[in-house]
Amino acid sequence: MENDDRIERLLALILLSQMKGSSQKEKVRILNLAGFSNVEIADIIETTSDKVAKSLYQAKQPNRKSYSR
């Protein structure tokens, strides 16, 4: 099973290397779609699982316009 984890991590890193110039939010979204957990994503992109969760939450929110007075 450990070997499978290494292969998955390697494939994720290859994917991210192909996404040069993409935002961290986009990388989080793609890794989430690939089935990685928030903790796994955080480990891969070297951030916290809280930041991953926040990115995913924001991505699911409808675009809201900011109104200035």
Domain membership flag for residue 51: yes
Domain count, the chain: 1
| Structural domain boundaries enclosing 41 | 2-60
Confidence check: pLDDT of 54 > 70 = yes
Domain membership flag for residue 68: no
Domain membership flag for residue 67: no
Average pLDDT over residues 40-63: 92
User: Percent of the chain, pLDDT > 90?
Assistant: 43
pLDDT of residue 9: 85
Domain membership flag for residue 49: yes
- DSSP per residue, the chain: -HHHHHHHHHHHHHHHHTTTT--HHHHHHHHHHTT--HHHHHHHHTS-HHHHHHHHHHHHSPP-PPP--
Average pLDDT over residues 38-49: 94
